[in-house]
Amino acid sequence: MNTEQTYLDLGTIENLASFLSEEKLKALFNSYLVDSENILSSLVTVIAENNVKEAIRLVHSLKSTSANVGAILFSEMAKSLEQIARDAKLDDLHSQLDALNNLFNLTRQAIKQLEIMKAD
């Protein structure tokens, strides 16, 4: 199994490709990657500040946007972390940040392997 199939729901991506031009689909993925990196960075800060409400908002955003672009495993992990944040267990959430970042990096690699991302 290739990495795209492991980390991405190709059905979701095919659905997006059915109504977005290649240029817009590529822009969507690029925007998703940048936004997710920013959210992951912000998450470190809000956990350090013990800001439960913002931590919930950030992981919820990761969950939703990841599902929308077919990054299904990353979305599922964000969903579980959202529940941890809702339970106000920020220490537990903090302990999962490395795993979340690692999964994001694998997801990013899978996205970059998509034909649409290789095209110029």
Per-residue pLDDT of the chain (120 residues; tens, 9 = 90+): 455 668 999 999 999 999 999 999 999 999 999 999 999 999 999 999 999 999 999 999 999 999 999 999 999 999 999 999 999 998 999 999 999 999 999 999 999 999 889 876
Per-residue pLDDT at 48: 94
Which option is the CATH number for 3-115: 1.10.287.130, 3.40.50.620, 1.20.120.160, 3.40.50.300? 1.20.120.160
pLDDT at 6: 86
Q: What integer pLDDT is reported at residue 1 of this predicted model?
A: 47
pLDDT at 59: 97
Q: Which of 4, 87, 91, 103 is nearest to 50 (CA)?
A: 91
- Listed in sequence order, the residues at least 6 apart from 75 whose beta carbon sits closer than 8 Å to its beta carbon are 62, 63, 64, 66, 67
pLDDT of residue 120: 64
C-beta atoms surrounding 40 within 10 Å: 16
DSSP result, 25-68 = HHHHHHHHHHHHHHHHHHHHHHHHTT-HHHHHHHHHHHHHHHHH
CA-based R_g, the chain, Å: 15
Angle between helices 22-48 and 52-69 (to 10 degrees): 160
> pTM here?
0.92
